[in-house]
């Protein structure tokens, strides 16, 4: 049985189960800019002339290789702390249409949702759900979403693991006090049996279609022993969708074959769905799919783009990841957000993601490839922000990302701090 490092024990998504080989996580080697090709003294022609890459028809120019952030961009951006003292924060959410522009922060084991307004945490919680809450490593209050018509109907949705071990997705309404939820308005959307305590997923998010999307892990343990990933009759290892405006919402399977989707997002401009999915033994990965497509991401036949526990496998039915990284660089991905703010226009359309264990921070742009039902699309400008933006190592234990009403990007740490990407002053 592998020995767990102390800092991994508190991880939300960093689930290194007993079947994993012992691995000491090392930071990825620094990315080096390639040296100029020395000229051949006899001819004046480079000794090794560059070979033009083969670019598929329709692909944007560039490469998907990980690169340093351009210096002219780094020089104009910095991290700024905007909150601290939170208890295991795992999500930051803005309510649509909220005139006060509040930010709502989910505290996992306390079962609280706190309000950040005008840079200050309000003393009174928005809601507290601690009476029937499980508090295992990957359990607790995990997700929050506000109805698109929140300003009219006051509805919000939470995803939590109760003391019965199951996942509960529940609707509440705000009370006469706009800073307090009325717990008597509870309506359970669904309860899903969890056979083990880990891989709960936990994210809830409204899509461009006005439906509520719910991320479900494979049920836990290790290696998907329930075979949920490729079972179309099980709700585990799926991205589900609910019409919460109906009298009796029913789950619809939108995507299957995810292992433990820890944070996903829709791009406000393109509708593309980006899913950070925590890997098993060797790989962490990001799926991207256009709105309206139903995809099979392949777990547990594959782990990312690699056959899982087999030398060969049939990958043809599965959509490969848009990006992935090995456990030499990290061990537990934290899915992020697409930047669509105004303060940093040079980041427009860029998807940011991180790793809980090593605090890596990366970003890329993505273009849809409509050529086939399993096409991935194209990743370009894949940038490594760690050395450029976080030389002091502030971004350990990244638990989530969020955006405010202006589309500006926030990074949430499980240790209680929240940072924002801002123009350098």
Of 9-23, 98-112, 225-239, minimum mean pLDDT range = 9-23
The enclosing domain of 333 has a CATH number of: 2.120.10.30
The answer to whether residue 421 is domain-embedded is: no
Domain range for 234 is: 6-17+83-342+367-375
| Of 226, 261, 20, 220, the residue nearest 136 (C-alpha) | 220
- Quick: pLDDT tens for 304-347: 999 999 999 999 999 999 999 999 999 999 999 999 999 999 99
- pLDDT the model gives residue 56: 67
- Quick: pLDDT tens for 31-55: 333 333 333 333 343 444 444 455 5
- Do the beta carbons of residue 270 and residue 368 sit within 8 Å? yes
C-alpha–C-alpha distance, residues 50 and 52, integer Å: 6
- Quick: pLDDT tens for 226-270: 999 999 999 999 999 999 999 999 999 999 999 999 999 999 999
Place of tokens 């660089």: 329
C-alpha–C-alpha distance, residues 4 and 233, integer Å: 34
pTM as predicted:
0.88
Number of domains forming the structure of the chain:
1
Of 57-61, 375-379, 421-425, minimum mean pLDDT range = 57-61
- Quick: pLDDT tens for 113-145: 999 999 999 999 999 998 789 999 999 999 999
- Do the beta carbons of residue 347 and residue 424 sit within 8 Å? no
The answer to whether residue 395 is domain-embedded is: no
The answer to whether residue 283 is domain-embedded is: yes
- pLDDT the model gives residue 2: 39
The answer to whether residue 176 is domain-embedded is: yes
The answer to whether residue 104 is domain-embedded is: yes
The answer to whether residue 414 is domain-embedded is: no
Is beta strand 378-384 parallel, antiparallel or unpaired with respect to 66-68?
Answer: parallel
C-alpha–C-alpha distance, residues 267 and 350, integer Å: 10
The answer to whether residue 26 is domain-embedded is: no
Q: Does 202 score more than 70 pLDDT?
A: yes
C-alpha–C-alpha distance, residues 140 and 112, integer Å: 10
The answer to whether residue 409 is domain-embedded is: no
Place of tokens 């959410």: 93
The residue-averaged pLDDT of 184-209 equals 97
The residue-averaged pLDDT of 57-80 equals 93
The residue-averaged pLDDT of 64-73 equals 96
C-alpha Rg value of the chain to the nearest Å = 22
Q: How far is residue 265 from each of residues 93, 98, 320, 354, 402, measured CA to CA in Å?
A: 12, 20, 18, 14, 10
């Amino acid at each position: 049985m592998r020995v767990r490092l102390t800092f991994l024990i508190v991880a939300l998504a960093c689930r290194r189960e007993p079947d994993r080989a012992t691995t000491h996580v090392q930071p990825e080697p620094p990315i080096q800019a390639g040296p100029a090709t020395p000229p051949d003294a006899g001819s004046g022609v480079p000794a090794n002339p560059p070979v033009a890459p083969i670019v598929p028809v329709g692909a944007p120019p560039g490469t998907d290789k990980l690169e340093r952030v351009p210096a002219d961009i780094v020089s104009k951006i910095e991290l700024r702390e905007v909150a601290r003292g939170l208890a295991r924060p795992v999500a930051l959410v803005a309510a649509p249409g909220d005139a006060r522009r509040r930010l709502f922060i989910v505290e996992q084991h306390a079962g609280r949702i706190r309000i950040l307004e005008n840079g200050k945490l309000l003393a009174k919680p928005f809601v507290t759900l601690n009476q029937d809450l499980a508090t295992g490593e990957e359990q607790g209050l995990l997700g929050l979403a506000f109805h698109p018509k929140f300003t009219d109907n006051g509805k919000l949705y939470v995803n939590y693991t109760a003391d019965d071990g199951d996942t509960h997705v529940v609707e509440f309404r705000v009370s006469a006090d706009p800073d307090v939820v009325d717990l008597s308005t509870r309506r359970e959307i669904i309860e899903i049996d969890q056979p083990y305590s880990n891989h709960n997923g936990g994210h809830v998010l409204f899509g461009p279609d006005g439906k509520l999307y719910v991320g479900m892990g494979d049920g836990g343990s290790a290696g998907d022993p329930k075979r949920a990933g490729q079972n179309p009759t099980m709700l585990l290892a799926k991205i589900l969708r609910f019409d919460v405006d109906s009298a009796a919402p029913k789950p619809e399977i939108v995507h299957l074959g995810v292992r433990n989707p820890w944070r996903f997002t829709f791009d406000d401009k393109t509708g593309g769905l980006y899913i950070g999915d925590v890997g098993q033994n060797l790989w962490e990965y990001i799926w991207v799919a256009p709105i309206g497509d139903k995809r099979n991401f392949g777990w547990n036949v594959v782990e990312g783009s690699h056959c899982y526990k087999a030398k060969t496998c049939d990958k043809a039915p599965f959509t490969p990841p848009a990006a992935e990284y090995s456990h030499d660089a990290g061990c537990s991905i934290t899915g992020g957000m697409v930047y669509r703010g105004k303060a940093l226009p040079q980041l427009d359309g860029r998807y940011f993601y991180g790793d809980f264990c090593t605090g890596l921070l990366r970003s890329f742009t993505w273009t849809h490839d409509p050529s086939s039902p399993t096409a991935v699309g194209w990743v370009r400008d894949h940038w490594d922000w760690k050395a450029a933006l976080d030389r002091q190592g502030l971004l350990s234990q990244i638990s989530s990302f969020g955006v405010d009403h202006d589309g500006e990007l926030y990074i949430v740490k499980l240790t209680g701090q929240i940072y924002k990407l801002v123009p350098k002053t």
